[in-house]
Amino acid sequence: MSTPDTHHRTTMIVRIVSALALLAAGGIHLFLVLTGTGGVLGVAFVLNFIAGLVLGVGMLVVPRRFLLLVTVLGLLYLVASLGALFIALTVGLFGVQPGWDYPLVRETVIVESIGVVVLGVATVIVFGDRRAQLTRR
């Protein structure tokens, strides 16, 4: 059985690791824009960076009552970003069909896949915590 101290520590670790995954995913997209990706894809990458930054910071600063919302949004963000990359690699997206040799494609798949797992676990933990809080009331 977990003590309140270990539970708080676990939640904090989940928040930090989730924030790192979100910031890394957003950072990759910012790097790609800064190194020459332009046009519609560049605009999409800037928006992706902003979303990763907002969600990553949000994981660290939101009150506990909003943590489930931020965690779910972070998970959806990573799933959508990874899904868009796979669509781009297979059939193309925004008129672009990069190959696996395009800069940071492999790294993005790795970072975002790890992020999906981390945010999935975080969502389960935070949901369980939220459910326990509501049952106590």
pLDDT at 3 over 70: no
Written as six digits, the tokens of 46 are: 């800037």
| 20 or 137, greater pLDDT | 20
Domain count along the chain: 1
Residue 9: which domain range?
Answer: 4-136
Spatial CA neighbour of 71 closest among 110, 127, 2, 112: 127
CA distance 63 to 67: 6
The secondary structure element, H or E, covering residue 57 is helix 39-61
pLDDT at 32 over 60: yes
Confidence (pLDDT) at 18: 97
Mean pLDDT of the region 65-73: 95
27 phi, psi to nearest 5 deg: -65, -35
Written as six digits, the tokens of 66 are: 């909003």
Which DSSP symbol is given to 93? B
pLDDT at 59 over 90: yes
pLDDT at 72 over 90: yes
Mean pLDDT of the region 29-45: 91
Confidence (pLDDT) at 137: 60
Mean pLDDT of the region 88-114: 89
pLDDT at 1 over 60: no
